[in-house]
Structure 1
Amino acid sequence: MNKAEIMTKKHDKKCPLAPRLRFPEFRDEWYSQALGTIASIIKEKAEDKKCTLMSIITGVGLISQIDKFGKEIAGNQYKNYRILRKGDFAYNKSATKDYPQGFIALYAGNEIAAVPNSIFTCFKVQPESIVPAYLNYLFLGNFHGKWLRRYITVGARAHGSLSIDDDDLLSLPIPYPKGVSSLGEQQKIADCLSSLDERIAAETSKLDRLKDHKKGLLKQLFPAEGETLPQLRFPEFRDAGEWVQKIISDVCSISTGKSNTQDKNDDGIFPFYVRSAIIERSTKYLYDEEAILTVGDGVGTGKVYHYVNGKYDLHQRVYRLFRFQNIDGKFLFYLFSTFFYDRVSKMSAKNSVDSVRMDMIAKMPISLPTLPEEQRIADCLSSLDELITAQTQKIDLLKDHKKGLMQQLFPRIDEVLHE
Structure 2
Amino acid sequence: MATKTPKIRFSRFDAAWEQRKLGDIATLINGRAFSQNELLEQGKYPILRVGNFYTNGSWYFSNMKLEEKFYAARGDLLYTWSASFGPHIWEGEKVIFHYHIWKIELTEKLDKQFALFLLDKDKDNLLSGSNGSTMIHITKSGMEEKKLWIPKDKTEQKKIGTFLKKLEETITLHQKKLEHFKKLKESLLQNMFPREGEIFPRLRFPEFTDAWEQRKLGDLMDVSSVKRIHQSDWTQQGIPFYRARDIVAYFKNQVPNDCLYISKEKYEECCASSGKVCLDDLLVTGVGTIGVPYLIKNLEPLYFKDGNIIWFKNKGVIDGKFLYYSFNGSSIQRYIKESAGTGTVGTYTIENGRRTPIYLPSKSEQKQIGELFSNLEFLVTLHQRKLAQLKKLKTCLFNNLFVN
Query: Where on the TM-score scale, by shorter chain, does this alignment land: which range?
Result: 0.7 to 0.9
Distance 1:265 1:173 in 2: 52
Cα distance in 2 between the residues matched to 1:226 and 1:342: 13
Matched, 1:221 2:211: no
Asked if structure 2 preserves the Cα contact closer than 8 Å seen for 1:144 and 1:172, the reply is no
**2:146 alignment partner, one of 153, 172, 178:** 172
- After the TM superposition, which residues 18-57 of structure 1 pair with which residues of structure 2 at under 5 Å, given as runs? 18-43=5-30, 45-46=32-33, 50-56=45-51
**Is 1:201 aligned with 2:178?**
no
Kindly indicate whether the alpha-carbon contact (under 8 Å) linking 1:275 and 1:318 is maintained by their aligned counterparts in 2: no
Q: How many pairs were matched up?
A: 362
Do the aligned residues in 2 keep the contact of 1:151 with 1:168 (CA within 8 Å)?
no
Alpha-carbon separation, structure 2, partners of 1:261 and 1:105: 50
Output the CA distance in 1 between the equivalents of 2:339 and 2:109: 63
Does structure 1 residue 336 correspond to structure 2 residue 327?
A: yes
- Counterpart residue identity of residue 228, structure 1: I
Alignment partner, residue 252 of structure 2: none
> Following superposition of structure 1 onto structure 2, how do residues 6-405 of structure 1 map, counting pairs within 5 Å?
12=1, 14=2, 16-43=3-30, 45-46=32-33, 50-56=45-51, 62-63=53-54, 65=56, 67=57, 70=58, 72=60, 83=70, 85-86=72-73, 87-94=76-83, 103-108=85-90, 109-115=92-98, 117=99, 120=100, 122=102, 124-141=104-121, 143-146=122-125, 148-152=127-131, 154=133, 161-162=136-137, 164-178=138-152, 181-182=153-154, 184-234=155-205, 238=208, 241-255=210-224, 270=240, 272-275=242-245, 277-278=248-249, 279-280=255-256, 281-285=258-262, 289-290=277-278, 291-298=281-288, 300-302=289-291, 304-309=292-297, 310-312=300-302, 314=304, 318-325=308-315, 326-338=317-329, 339-346=331-338, 355-358=346-349, 359-405=351-397
Q: Residue 273 of structure 1 contacts residue 314 of structure 1 at CA under 8 Å; is this kept in 2?
A: yes
Shift in Å, 1:335: 0.8
TM-score (norm 1): 0.71
Identify the residue that residue 8 of structure 1 maps to in structure 2: none
1: distance between equivalents of 2:5 and 2:238?
43
In the alignment, which residue of structure 2 is the partner of 1:7?
A: none
**Amino acid in structure 2 at the alignment position of 1:373:** E
Q: Residue 249 of structure 1 aligns to which amino acid in structure 2? A: G
Per mean C-alpha deviation after superposition, the further-off stretch among 309-318 and 123-132 is 309-318
CA contact (8 A) 1:106 1:132 kept: no
Cα distance, 1:333 vs structure 2: 0.9
RMSD: 3.9
Distance 1:262 1:123 in 2: 61
Per-residue deviation, 1:191 = 1.5
- Take 1:267 and 1:35, find their aligned partners in 2: how far apart are those partners? 54
Q: Distance in 2 between matches of 1:187 and 1:27?
A: 15
Cα distance in structure 2, aligned partners of 1:214 and 1:22: 43
SS of residue matched to 1:366: strand
Q: What is the rounded CA distance, in whole Å, between the counterparts of 1:89 and 1:315 in structure 2?
A: 53
In the TM superposition, residue 171 of structure 1 has moved relative to its aligned partner by 3.0
**Tell me, what secondary structure is at the counterpart of 1:395?**
helix
2: CA distance, partners of 1:401 / 1:311: 36
State the distance in 1 between where 2:376 and 2:49 align: 39
Distance change (3 Å), C-alpha of 1:41 and 1:265: farther
Decide which moves more: 185-194 or 321-330: 321-330
Q: C-alpha distance in 2, partners of 1:39/1:231?
A: 58
Gaps of 5+ in 1: 1-11, 95-101, 414-419
CA separation of 1:71 and 1:113: change in aligned 2, threshold 3 A: closer
CA–CA separation in structure 2 for the residues paired with 1:189 and 1:265: 49
| Of 186-195 and 165-174, the range deviating more from structure 2 | 165-174
Matched residue type, 1:306: Y
Cα distance, 1:396 vs structure 2: 2.6
Structure 2 alignment gaps of length 5 or more: 39-43, 250-254
Question: Take 1:335 and 1:146, find their aligned partners in 2: how far apart are those partners?
Answer: 47
Letter in 1 for 2:395: K
